[in-house]
Structure 1
Amino acid sequence: MRGGDNEFTLKAYKALFDSLYPQLCVFAYKYLNDLDISKDITQEVFVKVWEDKITFQNENHATGFFYKAVKNKCLNYLKSKQYKVTERYELANVETYETEEYYISDAVVIETTAVIEKAINKLPEKAAQVIRLSIEDYTNNQIADELSISVNTVKDHKKVAYRKLRDFLSFLTIK
């Protein structure tokens, strides 16, 4: 995560930002229900890390740090006077958001979704389209109509996609 002289390289920092920013915005949105504020808070965390030259042992350490920092910044925002004045402040929701279970379950869902999306992006284009429609609960017939292909072609794309996804995501299985 650092360059040779123990400083963050801009390239490494940009790669970290690109890999984490979208999921962290979604994570913040779960707390705030406002996409613009979620983006602002996530960016503020990245800026603070850059300015403070915070070091990380590895990518997993960085990921955990950013999730926790975004969570804390969201909770601080929800407790702030600005939020209390401009929004309906519900203490019960903030207390729920502060629980470790809420934090962990949301972080796991968002990270898993990002991993699956990256795997789907590795599929051939038509197979990826079929899988995305399938995830949206389209039937094989609806997928065939939507993509102007036969139902058998849909089934073939699904077979290819599932086989490749199993390979791409095999690291997730418990042994």
Structure 2
Amino acid sequence: MNQKQTELTTASGSIPIEASVTIGEIPASDCTQDKEYFIRQAFHVNALTGYELLFRQYYGSLCSHAARYVYTREVAEDLVSEVFYTFWKNQAYLQINTSFRAYLFASVRYKALNYLKWEFFKEDHFELQEDGETGGTPEPDQILEYDELYMYIEKIAASLPPQCRKVFLLNRFEGKSYAEIAKAMGVSVKAIEGHMSKALAVFRKALTAYRMPGK
């Protein structure tokens, strides 16, 4: 059977993924409604097939999850792509005993948290790692750190003036340009720049003053 191939390109490299998934070789008895089980069985038959099914199943929701932390869709997509790249490079599907979903969401939270540490706390050690440090089951103190930081970010966003918050979310979460936001809100681009400058200043000040657990 001919199969067209595409590539998932990340900052670290490219991964070939099949444009059309072939599942005919998977026994019908194994095709249950449990998507995790189905994907795991696909990996047993063909690693690329399983990988593409996994990518299609979780990529969108993982990007939305990451964007809740980093407040920019572009960065969120980069972080998620790096997680998938590491997953494939390290053949994590051979090692994961818990659900793929739990592993991927934990990995994305770890990446997002490290990104925030780098952006706001200027920690020099941050980088989009490729060595498998991203994943698996987070430790209890990491879970607490994720939750506390997320709630703190939500609190900062909620404290912004309504127009300022709207501009910030449209730009950083939905990826709209200043010109697009200005047109939608019926104001000048300069006004949008002012709102964004104020929002970012509030975030930087609040997050710089924030003390991470264990710091």
Give the TM-score normalised by the residue count of structure 2. Answer: 0.36
Give the TM-score normalised by the residue count of structure 1. Answer: 0.44
* Larger proportion of helix: 1
* Larger proportion of strand: 2
